[in-house]
Structure formats: structure tokens, C-alpha cells
Copies of this chain bind each other. A is one copy, B any other.
């Protein structure tokens, strides 16, 4: 049974919100855990609006310290304080966020009733989070401020031995660890039972690459190779490539080109300039380069590892 691994889009506007779109925030729902990826203004309202359990976030990843990626964090933390949160919260971001948060708690005369653990990100290709099922690795974006991407990689689990095989071949308990590692089983009378007949292979590990604000770059191409889902910003359509470069952002075609070179299974676009009202052209342009492209809209849920091509 495949455990949950999906993204909820809370905001997909670049730089400034519009009457229809919030700025960047995503929720990663992995097994029974919720992670927050960027936390723009209004994120706590969006979490409530989409009926996500606001108290379940323990790890918040902030790509960089432009307002449209972190301004919702002070409000979320103040709300945690008022709601009496007592669990630690971990915040991963480039240096500076601690100062921004602490000055506000100080001036408002509040001392958070929970621990805030700041993890300052300084370099790429570092594993910054790990649990039994998942690792999170930093990637280096190309932007005007130090900016990180986050690569969420499911761990390869051990094989499971079929219960009926244990009974059928009378497999002793001490043999189980090596069979789980892939060894065949040899019966007391010397008969070899192939590993594949007595085990169930774990599902293929899935992966999600979150590449927030960045100009086109291949600096992290090797890290995202073969990812199930690549979120890559596409602030502009292709005709604005010069503006994109000037502002250290990307176009549809650039995001799609990177997806193609990396051989990812699906591309998710977001971070659209407020000048665009209608998104059809984003899909169209990107799909000419990389057909399996979808665009992020508020409230969308995208499952990681379900890669049917678009109709």
C-alpha cells in the first residue's frame, strides 16, 4: 500500500499577491507528516481555508528571504503561541530569519511558549532533515539572495517476506534479516528458494524537487535527475526571457528545458508574475518542450509518483 506523498498548493503568485492568487506556499504531505515549503503572507489563512491541520507542522522550509516567501511565518508562529503549542518547531532558511522573528516577538512583548529551532542553511547538497522514510537535501538556486531548493527523497525500504512463505518453507527467524536484504533461502535439505519467490519488493522510492525562485541554471541538474515531480518557478512566458534573466527568474520554456534535461517524470510550474491573469499559455509553452507539465493553482493537490501524461 503506497503511503501518502502529495503537495497542496497554497499560493502560486510571484512577488505580490493578486485578487485571485496568494504568494508562494506549499504543503508537502508525506505519510502522516506535514511539511511547509515557503510561507508567504496569508499562509495561516490558506491552511485553514483548505482544512489542513494547522498544528501538525513541525518542519518549515523557507527557500529565501524575499517577503513573498516568508511573510506569513511571523503570523503562523504568533498563532501557535496563542493556541498554546508546546511542540518544538524547526525552521530551515538562509541566515536572517531568526532576527526577523525574534525582533517581532520581543517588540510584541511575547515569549513563545514552544521552542523555535532555527537551522541556518549555508550550502547546497546537504541533508538537512532525515527520518525513517525520508531525506531532505538542499539545492543551490540562482537568485538575487541566497536561495535554496529542497529535494525530498523517499528512502528505499527493505523487502518484506511473504507471511505464507515463512510458514510454507519453515524459515527460521534468524534468516529473516538476510532475506530482507535480498539473499535466497536455502532449506535444511539444500534446496534453494529464490529470493523473489518469498519476498515482496518495496515500492520504488519517490522524490519531489522544490525549486523556488531561480534563474535558469544547471547547477542542481544532477540532483534532480529522474525526480518524480519537479516544481520549478516560471515567473514569465517565453517572450519575457530578458526580463526573467534580469530579475533572476525563469520562463516556461526554461523550466521545461530543465525538466527535459533532468528526465523528471512530471513538471509543476508556479510563481507567476501578477501581470498574467490567464494560465493556458503557460501550459502550452511548457508542453511544447516537456509534455508532462501541469500548472500550480491554489487548492490543487498533486500526487508525487503518479505520472500519467496529461490528456
Q: A residues within 8 Å of B by Cβ?
A: 15-19, 22, 41-42, 44-45, 48-49, 51, 65-68, 71-72, 74-75, 78-79, 82-83, 96-97, 99-100, 103-104, 107-109, 144-145
The contact of A107 among B19, B51, B65, by CB within 8 Å, is: B65
A67-B71 in contact (CB<8A): no
What residues on B are CB-neighbors of A96 within 8 Å?
107
B79 pairs with A16, CB closer than 8 A: yes
Q: Are A17 and B41 in contact (CB under 8 A)?
A: no
The answer on a CB contact under 8 Å between B72 and A108 is no
By the criterion CB–CB under 8 Å, are B107 and A100 in contact?
yes
Nearest B residue to A49 via CB reads B19
Contacts of A71 in B (CB 8 A): 41, 71, 74-75, 78
7 contacts between A and B (CB under 8 A): A15-B79, A17-B45, A42-B42, A71-B71, A71-B74, A99-B107, A100-B107
Q: Which chain B residues border A41 with CB–CB below 8 Å? A: 41-42, 44-45, 71-72, 75
- Point out the residues of chain B lying under 8 angstroms from A108, CB to CB: 65-67, 145
Question: Which residues of B lie under 8 Å from residue A100 when comparing CB positions?
Answer: 103-104, 107
Contacts of A67 in B (CB 8 A): 74-75, 78, 104, 108
A83: B residues at CB distance < 8 A: 16
Residue among A66, A72, A75 with most chain B CB within 10 A:
A75
